[in-house]
Copies of this chain bind each other. A is one copy, B any other.
Amino acid sequence: MSAATPAMIAVDWGTTNFRAFLLSQSGEILDRVFARSGLQNIRGQKFEELLMKETLSWRNAHKNLPILMSGMVGSRKAWLEVPYLECPVELNQFGHHLSAVGERANQWIVPGVSVARDNASFDVMRGEEVQILGTVDPASNDSRLICLPGTHSKWALVEDGKISNFKTYMTGELFVVLRKYSILGHLMTSAKPDDQGFAQGYAWGKRPESFLSQIFQTRTQVLAGNLSPKAADSFLSGLLISEEIKAGLSDIEVPNKSITIIANPRIAQQYAKCLAEYDIEAVVMNSDEVTTKGLFQVAQQAKLV
């Protein structure tokens, strides 16, 4: 079999998006499908039908491809609630804990990861564990902090080949609901990125004041004439990312003064610039790439490929 022969379908199925990848025997991306069919957009529709529809041409051309899925598709009230593995979680163990799902054979969901702390604080991830796996060199036991900005940003610590701890920040979702549904959106006139607005918001977020009062400055700084309405959107984004970085750095110690960031280039660049202020180097990795690398490794662990 050549390296380009399709060997599996890897699916990252989250709250907002559905992303599927046709992977070769060596894990290369041969083809990809993207749909806005995240959990919040498909209420009432059947998961399996949607999956079949989106991957139909691949499955017609290549019979019996295993399908490996990660993300919120395995959460409560989604397709099938699959259990969490509890931290510390060995990165090489995911493949031994897959849940079969649906009517067809050879369809699997990867477990999520949870962490329970002494102070009763509890955290969960679904999908990010696969991306984390995809960033790590299996030959290395180095400690590494991995930041995954998004709807629910995760900051995860990998030590000795295990996810040892992580924390969730609702940065992305707060940004969306505040911009879309709160008074803070009323004065915004543009969603176009504005570097100066972002920097202004970022500086505000570094202040030690409460988040509840800080966010209101998105409105009042416009009213005071200190912030342009077209930059207010970026101001709020900068404020939230500032708060996340401040919290993340105080919650989890950064090994080696370096953080791996998994995000699209624009967001990754914003985080990198902000982290530089704390004298921390950012290593940026592409989201699709680490997702497919991670799912391919899980498939190998499970001997599906």
- Interface of A with B (CB < 8 Å)? 15, 76-77, 114, 116, 119-124, 152, 167-171, 173-174, 177-178, 180-183, 186-187, 207, 209-213, 215-217, 219-221, 223-224, 226, 240, 243-244, 246-247, 250-251
Contact = CB atoms under 8 A, between A and B. Distances in A.
Contacts of A15: 183
Q: How many copies does the complex hold?
A: 2
A215 B182 contact: no
A175 to B, nearest CB: 11
A122 B220 CA distance: 6
A-B complex: 8 closest residue pairs judged by Cβ atoms: A210-B247, A169-B212, A122-B224, A211-B211, A122-B220, A177-B177, A177-B181, A168-B216
Contacts of A116: 224
Given A210-B246, A211-B211, A76 B223 contact: yes
A114 B226 CA distance: 14
A169 B186 CA distance: 17
A182 B186 contact: no
A212 B247 contact: yes
A171 B182 CA distance: 12
A2 to B, nearest CB: 43
Given A169-B216, A211-B212, 13 more contacts: A121-B209, A121-B220, A122-B217, A122-B226, A152-B216, A168-B220, A170-B182, A170-B216, A173-B183, A177-B181, A209-B251, A212-B243, A212-B247
Contacts of A221: 120, 122
A243 B186 contact: no
B121 A217 contact: yes
Contacts of A122: 217, 220-221, 223-224, 226
A212 B182 contact: no
B170 A177 contact: no
B213 A169 contact: yes
A181 B181 contact: yes
Contacts of A183: 15, 152, 173
B123 A215 contact: no
A240 B223 contact: no
11 contacts: A77-B186, A114-B223, A122-B221, A122-B224, A124-B219, A170-B182, A170-B212, A170-B213, A210-B246, A212-B240, A212-B247
